Amino acid sequence: MTNVRRLICGMSATLVAVAVVVAVAAGASRAPVQPLRVQASSLTQVGQDLVWQVELTQPFSPGGLGKHHESLCLLIERASSGSTVAQVCLAGPRPGSAAPRLLYSAVTRVGPGSPAAIAAAVTRSSDRELTASFLPSSVGVQYRALRWQVLSTLSGRGCSGAAPGTSTCSTLYPAAPSLLPLHTPRLVGCVPSGPDQVFTGPRKVREIALTFDDGPWDDPPTADFVRELARLHAPATFFEIGEHIPTYDPGGTVEREMLADGDMIGDHTWSHPDLVGLSVSEQRQQLSLAAREIRSVTGGFEPCLFRAPYGAVDPSLLELARSMGFTTIQWDIDPRDWALPGEGEIIDNVLENAHDGGIVEEHFGGGPRYETLDALPEEIAGLRKQGYQLVTLTQMLGYKLVYR
């Protein structure tokens, strides 16, 4: 508790400064004599996010906290010692916005540091309740056990029960730090939306998606592609042929590495036939067998992206794919790397045809792909020089990712 007392004392010296940041008109003036009282609160992990829910015994306005010299903060504490390492405090919305904010401060032995707004989704179902979701990394913690409490403080002459030598009184909820075990989230799927077939992404966003077909493979090994893209901090989307997986990556090591690196995996059928010439049942089997193999080696990932071999589709195949949970992905930038035109030709083709929302189709299997691999550093550097952000297809299309 020594760390928390030091935190409370430190906050009393900074409440006025925070008040300037968060003050927003909030109804009739009042002169509280006790901090806001927490009726219930919880901190849970939902997928990648930490979700903080807090309910007070009376209505409150995040924008009015500073005006009344109050604060309401989530304390993040070490699981082993209970010492506070961070605090996340409620604040009013930015000008022109209606959503409350979260201000993060690292906490040291001398107290909290300067507050900074973090990316968070903040919602309210009533004037006594608030729910906020944010990534652990945004508050300086990893996916491992932590303890937490809610600290409610009030600073001013009207405060009764202030700590000796201060004008700040406070309450903690719960009275003892609560333990929250965390686990590294595992990606298990994605949720398609929008059109059944996509050729390009949004034309008003400076993004481009690199996609690779026909792996896994061994010439060069798929791991070389995955690790080179990771070294270049460039996420990509890999469309895999199901029957290649037990041959070239039977343990699924590379597929799991893809997902861990932030890449995306799509379904490229079981054996790469021209689907338009097959019956509906044969088409379904080609998609379902490949998806089952991907699911098996990744420990449960269910792809939601499908690319037909040769890009050959018809309306009934598009309908079938969507009924199975897939968006059919085409492309609009084709460097024809499958024809082995040379590393320089691949680079020039991609850079000359790049545009907002572009989907680049390249290959990491089906033949010797050293030219494609060797082109990546200059290709990616050139795209970034043009101002593009490299994204996966699910990022570009705004699909929801499902974690467990």
* Residue 213 annotated among the catalytic residues of the structure: yes
Task: Tell me which of 7 and 19 has the higher pLDDT.
Answer: 7
Residues 199 and 161 in one domain: no
Q: What is the CATH number of the domain that holds 253?
A: 3.20.20.370
Calpha distance 64→324 (Å, rounded): 49
> Contacts for 307-314 with beta carbons within 8 Å, 24 or more apart?
307/211, 307/213, 307/239, 307/266, 307/267, 307/268, 308/269, 308/275, 309/268, 309/269, 309/272, 309/273, 309/274, 309/275, 310/274, 312/274, 312/275, 312/276, 313/197, 313/275, 313/276, 314/276
Residues 222 and 362 in one domain: yes
pLDDT tens digit sequence for 293-318? 999 999 999 999 999 999 999 999 99
**Catalytic residue chosen out of the listed positions 68, 69, 268, 363:** 363
Which DSSP letter does residue 47 get?
T
* Residue in the structure block whose two tokens are 């605090």: 87
Q: Which of 180, 206, 223 is the last residue of a domain?
A: 180
- Torsion-angle region of 262 (φ positive above 0: left; ψ -120 to 50: alpha; else: beta): left
Q: Indicate the pairing of strand 84-91 with strand 101-108.
A: antiparallel
Q: Which of 164, 180, 196 is the last residue of a domain?
A: 180
Residue 181: CB atoms within 10 A of its CB come to 10
Residues 172 and 200 in one domain: no
* Residue 363 annotated among the catalytic residues of the structure: yes
Looking at the structure of the chain, the number of domains it has is 2
Residue range(s) defining the domain that contains residue 160 = 2-180
Reported as a pLDDT band with limits 50, 70 and 90, residue 158 is low
Share of the chain above pLDDT 90, in %: 84
Residues 174 and 227 in one domain: no
Residues 229 and 322 in one domain: yes
Cα 67-69-75 angle, rounded to 5 deg: 120
Q: Which residues pair with 50 in a beta bridge?
A: 45, 134
Q: Which of 157, 180, 203 is the last residue of a domain?
A: 180
Calpha distance 47→63 (Å, rounded): 29
Residues 286 and 239 in one domain: yes
pLDDT tens digit sequence for 33-55? 789 999 999 999 999 999 999 99
Residue 27 has pLDDT above 60, yes or no: no
pLDDT recorded at residue 95 = 86
Residues 166 and 255 in one domain: no
Tell me the torsion sign for CA atoms 142, 143, 148, 153. Answer: positive
Residues 98 and 61 in one domain: yes
Q: Which amino acid is at 327?
A: T
Residues 172 and 193 in one domain: no
Q: Which amino acid is at 225?
A: F
Residues 225 and 137 in one domain: no
Q: Indicate the pairing of strand 305-306 with strand 327-329.
A: parallel
Calpha distance 367→204 (Å, rounded): 35
pLDDT tens digit sequence for 209-267? 999 999 999 999 999 999 999 999 999 999 999 999 999 999 999 999 999 999 999 99
Residues 395 and 272 in one domain: yes
132 CB contacts (<8 Å, ≥6 apart)?
51, 52, 88, 100, 102, 120, 121, 122, 123
- Torsion-angle region of 152 (φ positive above 0: left; ψ -120 to 50: alpha; else: beta): beta
**Catalytic residue chosen out of the listed positions 49, 213, 214, 337:** 213
The radius of gyration of the chain's CA atoms, rounded to the nearest angstrom, is 26
pLDDT tens digit sequence for 325-368? 999 999 999 999 999 999 999 999 999 999 999 999 999 999 99
Residue 16 has pLDDT above 50, yes or no: no
Residues 205 and 145 in one domain: no
216, 248 contact by CB (below 8 A)? yes
347, 382 contact by CB (below 8 A)? yes
